[in-house]
Amino acid sequence: MAYSHLERANDLEPSDGHRVLREKCPLHREENFDPPFYVVSRHDDVLKILKSPELWGNSDGPGVFYQKGGVLGSADDPDHARQRKVLREVFLPSKMRSIENRLKMIRNDLWKVFEKPGSGDFVDLFAFPFPAFAIAEILGVDPKDREKFHKWADDIVAGLGGGDLELVDKANLELWSYIDELVEERLLLMETGNQLPDDAISTMTIAFSNGQLSRREIQQLGHQLLVAGHETTASLLALMIYRLSAQPELLTELKNDHNLIEPAIEEFLRFDSPVQGLFRTNSSSCPVLDSVIPAGTKLQAMFASANRDPEIWDDPDSIRFDRDPRLSRQHLAFGWGVHYCIGAPLARLEAHLALEKIVESFTTIEILEEPPTTPPFILRGFTKLNIRWT
């Protein structure tokens, strides 16, 4: 069909384009890119791709460009499994409980600007810095260096949409150097018999000393945690505000029953998936729906479209906090299978802490202008969100 996925991907409401794909062209070949790639948009087809990592792999990168030599979300087994095994303990529920109070302190400090009625850019004031500081806390960054960490995240994420590549390169080098310094500090503590801090850099340093990770992999993993864990959560927080402003009855519903906060987060994730869809590359020629896809072809598994598939969800284009709990976490916002987002517990915790404050503090939320969308077409979010709150 004569349709451009790329032209519609950054619409304010991309779900309209996704509906066209599901109904008219569930396997879409995007010709407005060189080389062309494919898009699957129905839930069952997306899930089939995600459940076939031996055929549809990540080692060519989860983006539209072919990039070798990545880690975790950009790697396949056995490297992926080895790296994931090291980081899994960083995001255990017990670790999230142990870090919750520290994240509340960060949240409360950033939230002071909202304690009185006012206006401003919610992305700049809260949605962007909170996840950056949270990842810094997880990694083991000194609080005095948080702003530096925030700046690196800002420059690197801007580059995803074609920002200043010199700034991106500079931020990457400075971040990698900083991570290396943290590793050196922990190696010295180990050599002198001192206790290591309880953070992700310590976990990875121990893995390095045991031969499970290389120094380069630690740099790459730290970088991936910052970029992937930061941008997606920042987008989720801004999208929640956007929906609560557009549908004030949702805010009233949450104010009347705080027990709805957790199901609300799952529904916001389903409804406005911050990661619209990641790419896989097939290791051999294979059939997909009514076509045969040549080996080495990029295919985007559209999480966001799958999450609005009426074959799975009743009333999929409505935000409902009363969905069956057995189904509410079956959305694909965090992916599925072996590459399920390892940082999902942290993202959910950050969203919970933010939504608590939103419900507690705001009576009204008004969007002052149409927000500009995040440039990378695999993501959904806003570069700024000017609001007035009371």
Tracing tokens 């072919």 back to the chain, one arrives at: 66
**How high is the pLDDT of residue 257?**
98
Q: Which of 342, 340, 333, 347 is nearest to 134 (CA)?
A: 347
**How high is the pLDDT of residue 153?**
80
Q: Tell me the pLDDT tens digit for each residue of 24-40.
A: 999 999 998 899 999 99
Q: What are the structural domains, with CATH classification, of the chain?
A: 5-389 (1.10.630.10)
Angle between helices 215-246 and 200-209 (to 10 degrees): 150
E strands present in the chain:
27-30, 37-40, 56-57, 118-121, 278-282, 286-288, 291-293, 298-301, 365-367, 386-389
Q: How many residues does the chain have?
A: 390
**How high is the pLDDT of residue 44?**
97
**How high is the pLDDT of residue 159?**
66
CA atoms within 13 A on the CB side of 138: 29
**How high is the pLDDT of residue 325?**
85
CA gap 311, 43 in Å, rounded? 8
CA distances to 23, 31, 59, 116, 291 from 180, rounded to whole Å, are 50, 42, 24, 42, 47
State the DSSP code for 4: -
**How high is the pLDDT of residue 162?**
55
Angle between helices 129-139 and 200-209 (to 10 degrees): 40
CA gap 87, 80 in Å, rounded? 11
Q: Specify the pTM.
A: 0.95
At residue 142, what is the residue type? D
Low-confidence ranges of the chain (pLDDT < 70): 1-2, 158-163
Q: How far apart are the first and last CA of the chain?
A: 47
CA gap 381, 123 in Å, rounded? 10
CA gap 68, 279 in Å, rounded? 14
**How high is the pLDDT of residue 1?**
55
